[in-house]
Structures are given as structure tokens and as C-alpha cells.
Chain A
């Protein structure tokens, strides 16, 4: 009789699939098989079992070698650099639970930290746009049950959110979409003929970086106003057709991703995509949703929101919360030399920030709290390995549609390893000591 854990949550991407089945060894100590997960999700669970995994904190030495230290020493060092700094950057938060984030926020409040999450290089542009124009959206199931027009704009779920199309957006048979894929028209707008585009009923292969113009053209077309012959390399007839296709739907859902958030115009691309959605609600029903990346970047924004009032780029340095991406955002802070220490948890700026920012992290007193070896742990003074959330410890996570799901513990972490919440709690105690409270 196989030892199976079911209804397991996959803590990789914002799709947050909650139907995984994990087969354990009979003693329940080892993961043998992962069922229903995508290639990435399965790899995540299996990698946690790697024999060569780092299980103790390590300080980097001058000569580039590392020296093992205890969690106690690591907590002391972390507390010290945070207390000594005038303006420490506390970045990451997206690959951990809301419970750990809460403890981190108490530390940040005590040390006057600059708290930023991975939205800063992901959907931060979307958060700015939502602050400017709002966002008509819905849950993934609402789209599954109703949507007959599905738009993927600058996103490629076939690669980035592998089960999105089968669980939510394209193939499933919903309450009012009983014919599954046949009930829906799929439109992809992307400068590349992506694997998602090749499944679509229509693909507008626009010139890279001209999304703002093309979205604007759609709004012009909705109102029946005249267009130039080409916009973003797309002939106007195709644009009018696309506009009619959208207006003729009963329920339009637009999913968008890095293709728009990271291209010229950034937040403006999202802003006007939201305007397109808003316009469509004058003719039919329409919603729009960001394809969030990290499995709990959304949760970080939520917890920051209810505790401080802002979803990312939160500046606590003056003992109150302030906010302005462009000033209080990680890459601007690093490149402008505005911070004097770096605390990184649950993300990998070493791999995913421009190298000019990574060089600054390497120059600062720094700690990286991460289960993995990463380019970030390679440049930080201290690496603190912790248990995998969603594999070795449970906790609350928020899906890309802001739906909270409690991730499950499947196996124990390696002997003597701490969870990030446990480690942060030690750091908080040390911070209180050096603050004398």
C-alpha cells in the first residue's frame, strides 16, 4: 500500500496548483514520486531531497571559501548588520509563507528597513498601474466557468505557468463553458511566436516594445474611430477584427505577464491594458489578471498591505511607512547607493537583477536566507539555508488571483535545519536585544 499525501500545494509559481499527490517512502521520510505536477513543480519537490544540499549556515571568507557557523551565530550576525545599518535593504519575501513575512516585518519595523519583494522586477509595474486606474478582475474559477474570450498578452504560460491552461484558462470545462477549449477563442499578443501563441486562434505578433500603442489602438477601434494603416507593425484591419472578436464575447479574460511589465512604458502598458478591460465592460463583461510569478509574491503584497498600507517598495527607515517606486524600489536603491546593508530572503537577485545591482550587494554587509545555492548566496557574506516552504513546512500562500491557500508539510527537513520563520524569530530576538527592548 503506497504512502501517498494528496491535495498538496505546489509552491513554485503563482498558479499554486493544490491537487498534487506525493508518494513517500514507507517511513515517510523521503519523497519518491510527484504526481500531477508540471516539470518545474516536480523538480522542486525532488530537489529538496538532493544529497549535496547545504544544511548549515556558512560565512564567506576573504579567500572565497566558506566556513560553517551555527544558526545562533548566523542570527547574531544578521541582527547586527541590520541594527548597524542606517538604511538596510530587506528584499525578497516571495518564496516564503505569510507567517514568515509577518516576523520579517516586525524586524524591519525595528531596524528601519526598506522592505521590497520580487514584484519589483516582476509585476511591480502592474501594482503601480492598479494604483493609477484600478483593476477589474476575478478569480481563476470565475474565468474558467464563464470566459469565452481568453487573451494572453506578453505572457507564455506554456513555459512560465505550465498547468495554467489545463487547470484554469483554456482547456477545462466550466459551468457555462461546457465544451472546454471549444467554448473559447484564444488570442495571443506577443512579439514571439511562443508555444502559447501556436495554440491560439489568433496571434498578433507585434513589434517588441510597442504594446502601449497597440493597446491604445484597440481602444480607438472599440469606439469606431479611425486608425493609421499600421500600429506596432500590425495592419489596422487585424486590429479592428481583434476589437470585434473581444466585444462579441460574453466574458473576456485578459492574462498578462512580463512581456508588458518589463518593456518600454512599464506600468503604462498595464495601465492601458486595464483601460481596454474597463472599456470592454461597456459592451460585455471583461476581467484582467496578472500572471504572478513566485508562488507567494502576491501574499507578500497582501501582508505588507494590511500591516503597512503598501504592496511593495515599503520604506520604514523613518519609523513610518512611505512608498514610491523609483525611489524606494530595490534596484534604484542599490544603483543609487541609497542602502548600506542587504538582507535577502526567498529570492535570488544575484540571478535576476541587472549585474550593476548585484555588484552593489556584493559590496555591502549582506545575508542570503535561501534553501538553495544561488548566485545571491555566492556574493553574500552569510548564507543561511532553511527548510522548503510547502515541502518541509506549511504556511499560507496567495495565488495569482489573491486567493489564499494553506500549503502543506510533506516531509521533515534534514536533521537540525530551521524553517525561515524559526530563523527570523531568532533574529527578531537578537534585534530586540541590541535595541535594548
Chain B
């Protein structure tokens, strides 16, 4: 395999404490190394920014609801130029819900090399993996959803922690999943009857368990199984005025629990798209930011991480396993609504949404995300996401970076809003002059996310021994002054390496790489009861036979990277 030497770039690597120093980065046999021989190909990075490949901890990029978004929005294709195939590239299109090819290419263009699919319905896992397989370049994993799963609800209701863990390990193996995702705990099961759980104390119909018990139970199961990532929650009551209290109550469930794993992960709870959960007020009329309360709490709790879910003020497509929320949303905007409830497991909904800068609620949502990120004391625990495509497409990360790094750029946005005063008045953002550094951006986009995922031994840093995932951006931190240059440079990497292979050469994608699918195979004690329960549910309540349920690795996961864990006691 070719050797490379990336010379004289401004290197940003928070893990090694490298903050913009001019350094050379060497790549050999797919890994970062101390040095390479004279024969190594030299990439001149003088005047450019060098970082490890980006790691996305939460995006909806593959699977059934993503494809519903594509197929039921032909008009979304008209929001972006559809690009013909060229060289190694297939044709690629779509704006808020890009095709799998565009997903791979656009992440690569942003210097990202690893992306986690945020919600995999187990019953549809095969579909998720078919899309992941067809997505070029990037390494991917997927989080199966557990927060409304009948097995989990029953085991937790009976306080059977060991059975919960045994079932989870089985399902991770069946679906080739990477982590435990929990969306609107209990609420989506309630939606099976057209109901919801809007507080963590609302009992789930029939199952008679509360969201609080589900969240706590899943956190404990996660640590019992010593998984790389922590329990990954989208808490109840998303998107509603006054929901910050539900969010704080949910976060407090992690108090006193500490992480158990061999992957360097410190948190036990990751709260996703926390922007959507930081709202004050009681109605849309007195709607206001409570970013301060949320940021303060997360700052104070070392065992919690979060990603933001920045609103980018675009016309986009919302999609979530939070079925009742999507129904609520379509009642508000009267646009098309897709919903799929999944037997024994979960549900989901999809609704287009236009975040207009002229609507003050949207303006406020934009401000709240930035406010949280700028209140962060430790950017390693506040991560860059747009909850793609819910708050905006992932292709806007460079624009979000611009807003985070430039008060001037933020003021221009405020100035463009119809209700500027109202928006400024209801968020702390308008008085903030903090501008994040590239060092902090590197934490939010790779170092912090890799660590929270338990992947810091592979990704997120340029430490010798790690994967040869390196991005070179045409951005000179010493001379750049125009904030627009940030958006431009970080949206189009000059060079990109994935596992030591040159993917982008001088701005052009030249290889589709050798993408891998990450999943976790965790061994637990033999558990005849759980085996019986599984057989019984398949016999009586599933419409697919148990022998046709497992996602066969051979075909759907052609290039797996398996994390083997022993959680037997």
C-alpha cells in the first residue's frame, strides 16, 4: 500500500494537544505512522488545515424512513443540482435526503470518514445494511432502537436486568447493530394506539412502565454489556415549548452511574439533537430558549455527552422513530405525512418542513443550537450534528462552523430575519461574542465524537497507530478573515485519506475506498428463558419466521469490522 507524507499543514488534533502547529503527518499501511521512507508520495499542505477524518455521531442516512423521504419527495431533487457520474462516481442527487452515492461523496467532501446511522428498526435492519453497503467511502454503523421494544418493556417492567442485556446482545447480533438507541421511550409504543408519553412519568399503555424506568434500565444494560458507545437517547416531548424540564429530568437519570467499558468512553448517556429539547415557554406564543439551563447541566455532568442538532434554516425533511411527534408536526404544517409502526419494536414518521428565517420560531431554533454550542465548557462533549435531515442537511456542517466561528456571520443571519428583535430578545445568542476555534471545532466534529463512540482507538486523532483517516482543507487559519472562506473550505476538502487510501486528490474524488460496517458482537451467559421468549414471540406475534430474521453477514455486511466483547459473568 502506498505511503504518504502530508507536509507543512496547520495540524489540529485536540487528542494530542496539537493546536495549529505546522507538522508533517505520515501514513503507511492504512495507518498513521511516525515517519515514512523517502519514496512516500508527498502532499503539500502548506497554508492548509489538516485534521483527522470527521466522525458523525448521529445522522439519518440509511434505511426505511430515509428512503421514504427520498421516494415521497421528488420535489426535493429540484433543490440541488443532480450531478452526472464521472470517473469513479455514480450519478448523485437529492438535497435534504440525498441518494446513497451523494451521501458518501458529500461526507467525503467535508472530510468526514465515519458516519453513524442514528436509528435502525430491527425488523428493517436488512434494508439499513443494503443502503450502508451501497454508500461509498465512509465507515458506518447503525443503532438499533430499543426504547419501545416489547421484550425490553417486559423485562424492565419485571426488573430483569440480565434478561434485558441478553436480549440486547442477541438483537445486536441479529441486526449487526452498533449501539443502543432509545427514541421517545414508551411514547412510540403508545402511538400504536394514537397516544404518546410526553413526560418521563407517563405510564406506557398496557405495559405499565414509565419512560424513566426504560431509560435507566437501558443505561444499566449498556454498562452491563460494556458497549463501545453509551445509551443514545432522544428523550420524550421533543420539539414542544417548555420541554427543557423533561430533558433535565431525563439527563438526571444518569446521575451516579459510571461508565464500564474497555474503549475509553467516559459517558453513560448521550443525548441527541439536544437543541430540540431545550425549549422554554408554555405555548408557541411565549416560546423561548432554555439553552442556558441545558448547557449548564451538561457542563456540570462529566458522564453525559450530547450532540446539538443545529437548525440550518433550509427546506428539509424531518424523519424520526418518534411517530407521535411527526403526526403532531403534520397537524401544524399540513404537509404530507408518512408513518410506519413496526410490530413489537418501534415506529417512525416522515414530514417535510420549511425552516423559514421569517418565522420567529424557526429563527429561535437556529439560535438555540448555536447558543448551546457556545455555552459549552468542554467541546469534547458537545457534538456537531444537524440530526440530518431533521434540523437541516448534513451538507450544512461547514455553514454551521462558520456561524460558530464568526459573530459577524451570526449577526448577518439575525439581520436577515423578519422578526430579528423578537428572536434576539428570546435567546442569549445575540449577546454572545464567543467564536469557536478550529481546535474546538475539531473536538466537536472528530475527537469528541470518536471518544463518545468508544472509537478513539481508531478515529478522531492523528496519533500514530490510528486509522489513516486524514482530511486536508484549503484553509489558512493565519491569514483567513472572511467567514465565507470557512464554509467554502470545509465543504470541499482538498485531500482526503481513508484507511491510508487517497480518496480525494486535489478536490476530486478518485476512489470509493473500502468502506466498512461496524457492529458489536457481545457475548453473554447462556439464557434459556430469553431464547424461549424469543421463540414464542416469533411463533405468535411476528409475521416473519425467526429463521428469516437475522441479517446474514455474508451478503449485507460484505466488509464488517466486528467489536467482540465478553460480557459473561
The answer to whether B351 touches A134, judged by C-beta atoms less than 8 angstroms apart, is yes
Within 8 A of A (CB), among B63-118: 64, 66-67, 70-74, 76-77, 82-85, 90-91, 93-94, 97-101
The answer to whether A310 touches B74, judged by C-beta atoms less than 8 angstroms apart, is yes
The answer to whether A284 touches B71, judged by C-beta atoms less than 8 angstroms apart, is no
Of A99, A146, A305, which one neighbours B192 at CB under 8 angstroms?
A146
Within 8 A of B (CB), among A252-281: 278, 281
Of A102, A130, A303, A322, which one neighbours B338 at CB under 8 angstroms?
A130
A113 CB, min distance to chain B CBs, angstroms? 12
Contact partners of B73 in chain A: CB under 8 A: 131
Q: Residues 103-145 of chain B: 1 if any A CB is under 8 Å from the residue's CB, otherwise 0? A: 0000000000000000000011011001100100000000000
Within 8 A of B (CB), among A300-323: 301-303, 305-311, 316, 319-323
A415 to B433, CA, bound (A): 75
Q: Residues 535-548 of chain B: 1 if any A CB is under 8 Å from the residue's CB, otherwise 0? A: 00000111111011
A9 to B543, CA, bound (A): 12
User: Is B552's CB within 8 Å of the partner chain A?
Assistant: yes
Within 8 A of B (CB), among A152-175: 167-168, 173-175
User: Nearest residue in A to B97 (C-beta to C-beta)?
Assistant: A309
Which of A66-74, A376-384, A398-406 interfaces with chain B? A398-406
The answer to whether B85 touches A109, judged by C-beta atoms less than 8 angstroms apart, is yes
Which of B341-349, B373-381, B500-508 interfaces with chain A? B341-349
User: Is A139's CB within 8 Å of the partner chain B?
Assistant: yes
User: Is A55's CB within 8 Å of the partner chain B?
Assistant: no
Contact partners of B327 in chain A: CB under 8 A: 136, 281
- Given known pairs A127-B71, A396-B130, the reply for A251 and B124 (CB within 8 Å) is no
Of B90, B336, B344, which one neighbours A133 at CB under 8 angstroms?
B336
The answer to whether A309 touches B93, judged by C-beta atoms less than 8 angstroms apart, is yes
Within 8 A of A (CB), among B333-357: 335-344, 347, 350-351
The answer to whether A306 touches B91, judged by C-beta atoms less than 8 angstroms apart, is no
B290 CB, min distance to chain A CBs, angstroms? 31
B208 CB, min distance to chain A CBs, angstroms? 14
User: Is A18's CB within 8 Å of the partner chain B?
Assistant: yes
A250 to B91, CA, bound (A): 46
Of A135, A140, A321, A401, which one neighbours B77 at CB under 8 angstroms?
A321
CB within 8 Å: A-B pair count: 183
Q: Residues 235-251 of chain A: 1 if any B CB is under 8 Å from the residue's CB, otherwise 0? A: 00000000000000011
Contact partners of A132 in chain B: CB under 8 A: 336
User: Is A386's CB within 8 Å of the partner chain B?
Assistant: no
User: Is A141's CB within 8 Å of the partner chain B?
Assistant: yes
The answer to whether B91 touches A308, judged by C-beta atoms less than 8 angstroms apart, is yes
The answer to whether B543 touches A167, judged by C-beta atoms less than 8 angstroms apart, is yes
Q: Residues 364-382 of chain B: 1 if any A CB is under 8 Å from the residue's CB, otherwise 0? A: 0000000000000000000
The answer to whether B543 touches A402, judged by C-beta atoms less than 8 angstroms apart, is no
User: Nearest residue in A to B73 (C-beta to C-beta)?
Assistant: A131
Of B77, B98, B330, B541, which one neighbours A134 at CB under 8 angstroms?
B330
Contact partners of B548 in chain A: CB under 8 A: 7, 9, 18, 405-406
Of B127, B335, B545, B556, which one neighbours A19 at CB under 8 angstroms?
B545
A179 to B338, CA, bound (A): 30
The answer to whether A404 touches B130, judged by C-beta atoms less than 8 angstroms apart, is yes
The answer to whether A98 touches B351, judged by C-beta atoms less than 8 angstroms apart, is no
A406 to B84, CA, bound (A): 32
A134 to B347, CA, bound (A): 15
- Given known pairs A98-B130, A131-B72, the reply for A142 and B67 (CB within 8 Å) is no
The CB with the most chain B CB atoms within 10 A, among A6, A168, A406, is that of A406
The answer to whether B544 touches A403, judged by C-beta atoms less than 8 angstroms apart, is yes
- Given known pairs A134-B72, A320-B93, the reply for A18 and B100 (CB within 8 Å) is no
The answer to whether A142 touches B342, judged by C-beta atoms less than 8 angstroms apart, is yes
What's the interface size class on A, roughly? 35 or more
A132 to B338, CA, bound (A): 11
The answer to whether A310 touches B71, judged by C-beta atoms less than 8 angstroms apart, is yes
User: Is B477's CB within 8 Å of the partner chain A?
Assistant: no
The answer to whether A302 touches B343, judged by C-beta atoms less than 8 angstroms apart, is no
The answer to whether B350 touches A134, judged by C-beta atoms less than 8 angstroms apart, is yes
A7 to B72, CA, bound (A): 33
Of A127, A142, A307, A401, which one neighbours B99 at CB under 8 angstroms?
A307
User: Nearest residue in B to A19 (C-beta to C-beta)?
Assistant: B545
The answer to whether A402 touches B124, judged by C-beta atoms less than 8 angstroms apart, is yes
Within 8 A of B (CB), among A389-430: 396, 398, 401-406
The answer to whether A316 touches B341, judged by C-beta atoms less than 8 angstroms apart, is no
User: Is A138's CB within 8 Å of the partner chain B?
Assistant: yes
The answer to whether B342 touches A319, judged by C-beta atoms less than 8 angstroms apart, is no
A316 to B93, CA, bound (A): 12
User: Nearest residue in A to B102 (C-beta to C-beta)?
Assistant: A309
User: Nearest residue in A to B541 (C-beta to C-beta)?
Assistant: A175
Within 8 A of B (CB), among A303-347: 303, 305-311, 316, 319-323
The CB with the most chain A CB atoms within 10 A, among B101, B194, B555, is that of B194
The answer to whether B545 touches A402, judged by C-beta atoms less than 8 angstroms apart, is no
A306 to B132, CA, bound (A): 10
- Given known pairs A7-B548, A136-B338, the reply for A285 and B193 (CB within 8 Å) is yes
The answer to whether B543 touches A141, judged by C-beta atoms less than 8 angstroms apart, is yes
Contact partners of B338 in chain A: CB under 8 A: 130, 134-137
User: Is A205's CB within 8 Å of the partner chain B?
Assistant: no
A308 CB, min distance to chain B CBs, angstroms? 6
The CB with the most chain A CB atoms within 10 A, among B85, B340, B555, is that of B340
The answer to whether B70 touches A305, judged by C-beta atoms less than 8 angstroms apart, is yes
Contact partners of A281 in chain B: CB under 8 A: 194, 327
Contact partners of A102 in chain B: CB under 8 A: 134
A175 to B193, CA, bound (A): 13
Chain B residues within 8 Å of A, Cβ to Cβ: 62, 64, 66-67, 70-74, 76-77, 82-85, 90-91, 93-94, 97-101, 123-124, 126-127, 130-131, 134, 191-194, 206, 327, 330, 335-344, 347, 350-351, 540-545, 547-548, 552, 555-556
Which 5 pairs show the lowest CB-CB distances between chains A and B? A141-B343, A134-B336, A285-B194, A141-B543, A319-B84
24 A–B contacts, CB within 8 A, in A order? A102-B134, A131-B72, A133-B336, A134-B338, A136-B327, A136-B338, A142-B341, A144-B541, A173-B540, A250-B193, A278-B330, A287-B341, A301-B71, A305-B71, A306-B62, A307-B134, A308-B99, A309-B70, A316-B91, A319-B84, A320-B83, A320-B91, A321-B77, A406-B126
Chain A residues within 8 Å of B, Cβ to Cβ: 6-7, 9, 18-19, 98-99, 102, 109, 127, 130-142, 144-146, 167-168, 173-176, 250-251, 278, 281, 284-285, 287, 301-303, 305-311, 316, 319-323, 396, 398, 401-406
